Amino acid sequence: MVMTRVPPRSPAVRPRLPRLSALTWTGVVLLLLFLVLAVIGPMVAGDSTVRTGETLAAPGTAYLFGTDHLQRDLFARTAEGARVSLLVAVAGVGFGLVVAVPAGLVAGYFGGRWPDDVIMRVLEALQALPLFVFALFVIGVTGTGDSELGPLTLTSTAKVVLLLGVGFIPYFARVTRSATLVEVQEDYVDALRVLGVPRWRVIGGEILVNVLPPVLVQAFLWIGVAVFAESALSFLGLGIQPPQPSLGNILGDATGYMLLGAWWYSIIPGLVILVATIGFNLVGDGLGDALDADGRR
């Protein structure tokens, strides 16, 4: 009987996950804390408009974050404000992406030709106008309350979302255009052109898939910027209007009570804004580094 020797099976190659740095893990922890407050906090905190009967009560077992000058539970208002700020930031970034990604794809695909020149000139004009100056103009014309636009009613929240989205369009479009300029130099694009694949399918079906990862990483970074920008607009009275809470208008209400000893009223919402901004930025940087390492491999 002849025994045949079976060659040893080579071990399966497992995909290598990128190693996250300590800073990235720090960002993950901060981001999770913010998301827990924004997503779960409003569910357990109760109504943010109910008056507790205690004015400017310090944080303790009865009121975790203390109370504000109108006797409202600051934990409930901060949790609700974090949720509102997060939703506005995500919606603003999403609106910016919906407009900017197609514009950047077209500009990059026709790089150096008239469609690229027209789109980039419009984006440069838009980028030259600072967000807060643009917000002052829009709010000055439409007011801080609800605005009627034909059959549509724009609330203060919707106006902040639109303002943030318009302000982010040039940045997202530039990232998309840069990534598209790299992709159009690849051989597969020339091969698709030779095969007679329609231009819109090359752009939307092939190039878009390869361009999205770096664009989405940038979008993740800009969510933190959007949380800060929304808070700044609301702090100045140009964003979310009371009684609906946001981190910015809570901080704006607290400015007159810091010298009275109510330190928690200002510090706690400010810390939440800081945690969200740093968390999104650290995690976004980590994702960008992981994407670059994967590209090098």
Give the pLDDT confidence of 118-129 residue by residue, as tens digits. Answer: 999 999 888 887
Would you state the pLDDT for residue 294? 58
Report CA 180 to chain centroid distance, whole Å: 22
Q: What is the mean pLDDT of the chain?
A: 85
- Predicted confidence (pLDDT) at residue 139 exceeds the cutoff of 90: no
Would you state the pLDDT for residue 176? 93
Residue 74: partners with Cβ closer than 8 Å, 6 or more residues away? 59, 63, 65, 66, 67, 68, 250, 264, 265, 268
Phi first, then psi, for residue 80 (nearest 5°) are -65, -40
Among 12-21, 63-72, 127-136, 252-261, name the one with the lowest average pLDDT. 12-21
User: Would you call the peptide bond into 243 cis, given omega within 30 degrees of 0 as the criterion?
Assistant: yes
Phi first, then psi, for residue 130 (nearest 5°) are -60, 150
| Closest alpha carbon to 74 in 274, 224, 278, 267 | 267
| Closest alpha carbon to 173 in 98, 223, 280, 118 | 98
- Predicted confidence (pLDDT) at residue 9 exceeds the cutoff of 90: no
User: CATH code for 75-296?
Assistant: 1.10.3720.10
Among 5-9, 104-108, 151-155, name the one with the lowest average pLDDT. 5-9
d(CA 131, CA 134): 5
pLDDT band at 260 (very low <50, low <70, confident <90, very high): confident
Q: What mean pLDDT do residues 239-256 have?
A: 88
